[in-house]
Chains A and B, each alone.
Chain A
Amino acid sequence: MLYRLATPGVGDEVVEIRVLQWHGDVGAAFAAGELIVELETHKALIEVRAGQAGILRRIFAADGAWIQVGQSFAVFSDAPDEPVGDDPAAEAAFLANFVVD
């Protein structure tokens, strides 16, 4: 199964945040509890940790990129060989959310 990674809720008024640092490349496997990525709001760092096991398959926002709150910015899968669509950024909106802590 494929999943989308969406920005977590960061409070009202915050509409845009920045990717500080990914903690794994495409292909990396994450176990529940492991740090996936750090995000930066205007005043806080947000650690996004896996809430389920999964393989990171696509990254749409690299370190330093800006993303809208609620936007999908990565795709995960259960198995490493599951096919990912031709336009994963567009298709991500229809995927289930990858569970994060």
Chain B
Amino acid sequence: MSTEAPRMFFREAIARAIAEAMRADPRVIVLGQDVGSFGGAYREFDGLYAEFGAERVRDTPVAEAAIMGVGVGAAAAGWRPVVSITYMDFVMLALDPLVNYGAKLRYKTAGRLTAPVVVKTTAGARGQGVAHSQCLESWLMGVPGLKVVSPSNPADAYGLMRSALKADGPVVFVDHKRLYPIPGEGPDPDAETPIGKGRIARHGADLTIAAHSFMVHVSLQAAEILAGEGISIEVIDLRSLAPLDVDLIHASVSRTGALLTVEEGQVTCGVGVEVAARVRERGAAFAVARVGAIAAPVSSNPVLEAASIPNAETVARAARLLLGARDSGHSGAGGGELSAL
């Protein structure tokens, strides 16, 4: 036994990808709150300060707009910053430099400048209340020039961070608080995880679930419950939200004839809406429904928190309802909306 075992914590995958990029390219720097000697809120920057020092791993004040502004500006000047916004809720404060400057820089300068900045942020509910729990990925998916990735396991966290650090424009890397306690297999050193490619996390025949981040785990649990009832679920881990791997989802839905989108954020104008519409535009009708948070803030009360977001039982129930409606002829394309409850 040794500490070189391939299994790793989620945080270690992120730290490893960034450390390798920093060794290979002196332009890669890290900016954010508590990223230095503290090692990051989830220890996802552990070891970087010791190896690369305060010049390249910079603790910043609690000022998200300033951190993002400095990051985008440094990227325009030739650096490759990783900007850490600890909680995704506070990306709101940094949207102007990210959206109006970072994402548009290449367009505005006719390709003369780019902003290769990686925004690393953590979404999701885990006991921290209304302003530290939100999943706002879908807000960013419609910004031209911005890429959004969202891994569900350590191997993809490594691969997507590595790809993000090589990209020539802003990439928002969104993970989830509940992914950190889940270790997993480390990355295959020869495999790339390109931005824009999903993966099939479980093969099935009756219904396709499209999910990302922690909801992949919830969807796999739901698939296990349904397998016990003779229902075969295919689970797609989207991995990349912008761009979406429409080919992969479309091929799956073409086989199963039913699509259930599962996300922890709001369903209105959510990830699932875009997934369903993009697949529907490819052609044949299919049964479809969305699962996501109820239309309410996420409480810090654990009972209310659990009641507001999807879990394996609510996902399984939504899948049964969708298949039941399809098989009794009550649902075609655009046939149903199901909230988490």
Contact = CB atoms under 8 A, between A and B. Distances in A.
A21 to B, nearest CB: 10
Contacts, number: 37
Nearest to A62: B1
A69 B2 CA distance: 20
Contact of B2 (A14, A15, A64): A64
Nearest to A40: B9
A14 B5 CA distance: 19
B235 to A, nearest CB: 20
A15 B181 contact: yes
A14 B10 CA distance: 12
A42 B181 contact: yes
Interface in B175-227: 178, 180-183
B3 interface: yes
Q: Is the interface of B mostly helix, strand, loop or mixed?
A: loop
B1 A42 contact: no
Contacts of B42: 42-43
B281 interface: no
Given A16-B183, A42-B11, A42-B183, A64 B178 contact: no
Nearest to B184: A16
A13 B181 contact: yes
Contacts of A63: 1-3
Interface in B309-341: none
A28 interface: no
Interface string A59-100: 001111110000000000000000000000000000000000
A62 B1 CA distance: 6
A43 B182 CA distance: 11
A14 B178 CA distance: 10
A13 B178 contact: yes
Contacts of B7: 66
Nearest to A12: B181
Contacts of A16: 182-183
Contacts of B4: 64
Contacts of A52: none
B25 to A, nearest CB: 28
A43 B180 contact: yes
Contacts of B180: 42-43
Contacts of A14: 181
In this complex, the interface size class of chain B, counting residues with CB under 8 Å from chain A, is: 10 to 19
B43 interface: yes
A36 to B, nearest CB: 17
Contacts of B3: 63-64
Nearest to B183: A16
A66 B183 contact: yes
Interface string A1-34: 0000000000001111010000000000000000
B2 A41 contact: no
Contacts of A61: 1
B5 A65 contact: yes
B207 to A, nearest CB: 28
Nearest to B180: A42
Contacts of B5: 64-66
A70 to B, nearest CB: 15
Contacts of A62: 1
B1 A65 contact: yes
A14 B180 CA distance: 9
A15 B42 CA distance: 17
A64 B1 contact: yes
Contacts of B43: 42-43
Contacts of A42: 9-11, 42-43, 180-181, 183
Nearest to B302: A12
Contacts of A41: 181
A94 to B, nearest CB: 25
A8 to B, nearest CB: 15
- 3 A-B pairs closest in CB distance: A62-B1, A64-B3, A13-B181
18 contacts: A14-B181, A15-B181, A15-B182, A16-B182, A41-B181, A42-B10, A42-B42, A42-B180, A42-B183, A43-B11, A43-B42, A43-B180, A61-B1, A62-B1, A63-B1, A63-B3, A65-B1, A66-B183
